[in-house]
């Protein structure tokens, strides 16, 4: 992980093809030269159509297998460009520069790339780590409040996987210190298990219900994860009561005021049951205490029964 000031980024990226999120570019274009290709941010770009467009653009620009491409943006741009990097001419090197809180604290680390297809999130993807990840914290200044909330929800999740980060979040330490620690924890979990067969799966804490709600209601990823963290802890009931209360309080504070909506439990459970990671029932990361998790599998009917009981 490299930390740079924005004024030094252009020099560092000189000669590379740079794909940049247009909202990140808007606020900071004075720091970029003419070699940028602006792309809309957000989930809708994570598809084969946008991947193909990017590939065609790269072909036209004469990008070769020995070149390096750069992704500057939130998780969506990083996922799309990383995916394209992994398949263009069977793989070109890439660098990522996260510009949202969520992408700094989470998605830029661990080497997963993905696009969506057939209405299923991240169904096509690859494990393809960038050769470098560059942090310019100035990007955080142009994010709106909702994007900060969204990223902070994912930080709460990571904090539940590590005692030191948990203390930092509990003590409301400054954001940059928390991001650095978050990167350390994500690295520890992801890099010890690149292909997601063991410990790395714990990073999906809160994501079983989170992804279900995200698919059905289209709310931002981090917000859904926060709702998932609270509900899963209550449904599984294995974390100490004091920790359950901490999760409820922290996630409520991070989410803030949500538009009032009743979750259709049966509908969300149906989506959860169709997840690619399931074998027989629905897979959950079960939190026993800070930094202590195990995988559990519950029948869909059991999940619905427990969920309706706590509702
Ligand atoms: N690969 C992984 O390991 C991994 C992990 C977690 C999440 N993800 C993916 O990340 C995506 C979510 O990422 P995200 O929350 O960063 O959302 P995002 O990329 O959709 O960005 C959110 C919004 O912020 C804007 N934006 C980006 N940088 C900005 C800046 N500096 N100033 C102002 N606006 C800016 C974007 O244009 C967009 O409108 C999802 O697609 C999710 O699946 C991937
Ligand atoms: Zn997530």
Last residue of a domain, one of 142, 169, 199: 142
Q: Is the pLDDT of residue 94 over 70?
A: yes
DSSP string for 51-75: HHHHHHHHHHTT--TT-EEEEEESH
Phi and psi at residue 161, in whole multiples of 5°? Answer: -100, 0
**205 shares its domain with 286:** yes
pLDDT beyond 70 at 305:
yes
- Quote the pTM value: 0.93
* Same domain as 200, residue 75: no
Last residue of a domain, one of 92, 112, 142: 142
Which atom of ligand 1 is closest in space to residue 114's alpha carbon? 1
Same domain, 156 and 130: no
How far away, in angstroms, is 68 Cα from ligand 1 center?
22
Is 259's pLDDT higher than 70? no
Do 173 and 305 belong to one domain? yes
Residue 10: CB partners within 8 Å, gap ≥ 6? Answer: 31, 32, 33
What are the Cα distances from residue 84, in Å, to 124, 169, 227, 252? 11, 35, 32, 37
* Cα 221 to averaged position of ligand 2 atoms, centre (Å): 6
Whether 258 shows a pLDDT value over 70: the answer reads: no
Q: Summarize the confidence of residues 153-161 as an average pLDDT.
A: 98
Highest mean pLDDT (candidates 9-13, 51-55, 216-220)? 51-55
Domain identity same for 25 and 98: yes
Lowest-pLDDT choice from 41-55, 63-77, 186-200: 186-200
> For the domain that residue 70 is a member of, what is the CATH number?
3.40.50.1970
CA-only gyration radius of the chain, Å:
19
Distance CA 115, CA 129 (A): 16
Asked whether residue 94 falls in the same domain as residue 159, the answer is: no
Together in a domain, 211 and 64: no
Q: Do 133 and 7 have their domain in common?
A: yes
Same domain, yes or no: 214 and 101: no
Would the CB of 24 count as within 6 Å of ligand 1?
Answer: yes
- CATH code for the domain in which residue 184 is found: 1.20.1090.10
Question: Which parts of 74-119 are beta strand (E)?
Answer: 93-98, 112-117
Query: Is the distance from the beta carbon of residue 214 to the nearest atom of ligand 1 less than 6 Å?
Result: no
Q: Is 250 in the pocket of ligand 1 (CB under 6 A)?
A: no
Domain coverage including residue 41 = 2-142
126 is written with which tokens? 């690859």
Q: Which of 108, 142, 176 marks a domain boundary?
A: 142
Has residue 23 got a pLDDT over 90? yes
Q: Are residues 175 and 114 in the same domain?
A: no
Say how many domains are in the chain.
2
Return the ligand number nearest the Cα of 156: 2
Ligand 1 pocket mutation pick from 73, 83, 100 by most atoms within 8 angstroms of CB: 100
Task: Identify whether residues 203 and 297 lie together within a single domain.
Answer: yes
pLDDT for 34 beyond 80: no
**Mean pLDDT computed over 88-110:** 97
- Of 79, 194, 275, the residue with max ligand 1 atoms within 8 A of its CB, to mutate for a pocket test, comes to 79
Report the separation in Å between the CA atom of 39 and the middle of ligand 2, taken as the mean of its atom positions: 22
User: pLDDT above 70 covers what percent of the chain?
Assistant: 99
One domain for residues 153 and 85? no
Ligand 1 binding pocket includes 208 (Cβ within 6 Å): no
pLDDT confidence tier of residue 194, bands split at 50, 70 and 90: confident
* Sequence-distant (≥ 6) Cβ neighbours of residue 88 within 8 angstroms: 55, 58, 63, 69
Q: Quick one: DSSP state of residue 118? A: T
CA distance 143 to 241: 35
- Report pLDDT for 260: 65
pLDDT at res. 191: 85
Per-residue pLDDT, averaged over 251-280, amounts to 84
163 Cβ neighbours under 8 A, 6+ residues apart: 290, 291
Give ∠ CA 219-225-230 in degrees, rounded to 5.
120
Helices (H) then strands (E): counts for the chain: 13, 10
């Amino acid at each position: 992980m490299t930390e740079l000031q924005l004024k030094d980024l252009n020099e560092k990226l000189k000669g590379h093809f740079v794909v940049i999120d247009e909202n990140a570019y808007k606020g900071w274009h004075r720091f970029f030269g003419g070699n940028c290709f602006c792309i809309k941010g957000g989930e809708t770009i994570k598809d084969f159509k946008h991947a193909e467009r990017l590939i065609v653009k790269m072909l036209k620009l004469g990008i070769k297998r020995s070149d390096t491409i750069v992704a500057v943006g939130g998780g969506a741009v990083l996922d799309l460009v990383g995916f394209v990097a992994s398949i263009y001419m069977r793989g070109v090197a890439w660098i990522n520069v996260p510009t949202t809180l969520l992408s700094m604290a989470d998605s830029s680390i661990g080497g997963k790339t993905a696009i969506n297809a057939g209405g299923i999130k991240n169904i096509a993807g690859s494990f393809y780590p960038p050769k470098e990840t560059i942090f310019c914290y100035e990007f955080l200044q142009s994010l709106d409040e909702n994007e900060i909330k969204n990223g902070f929800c994912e930080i709460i999740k990571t904090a539940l996987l590590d005692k030191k980060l948990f203390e930092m979040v509990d003590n409301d330490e400054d954001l940059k210190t928390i991001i650095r620690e978050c990167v350390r924890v994500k690295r520890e979990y992801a890099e010890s298990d690149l292909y997601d067969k063991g410990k790395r799966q714990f990073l999906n804490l809160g994501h079983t219900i989170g992804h279900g709600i995200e698919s059905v209601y289209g709310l931002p990823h981090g917000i859904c994860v926060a709702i998932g963290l609270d509900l899963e802890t209550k449904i599984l009931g294995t974390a100490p009561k004091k920790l359950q209360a901490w999760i409820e309080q922290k996630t409520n504070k991070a989410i803030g005021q949500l538009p009032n909506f009743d979750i259709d439990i049966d509908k969300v459970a149906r989506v959860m049951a169709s997840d690619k990671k399931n074998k027989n029932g629905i897979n959950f990361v079960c939190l026993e205490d800070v930094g202590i998790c195990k995988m559990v599998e519950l029948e869909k009917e059991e999940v619905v029964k427990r969920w309706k009981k706590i509702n």
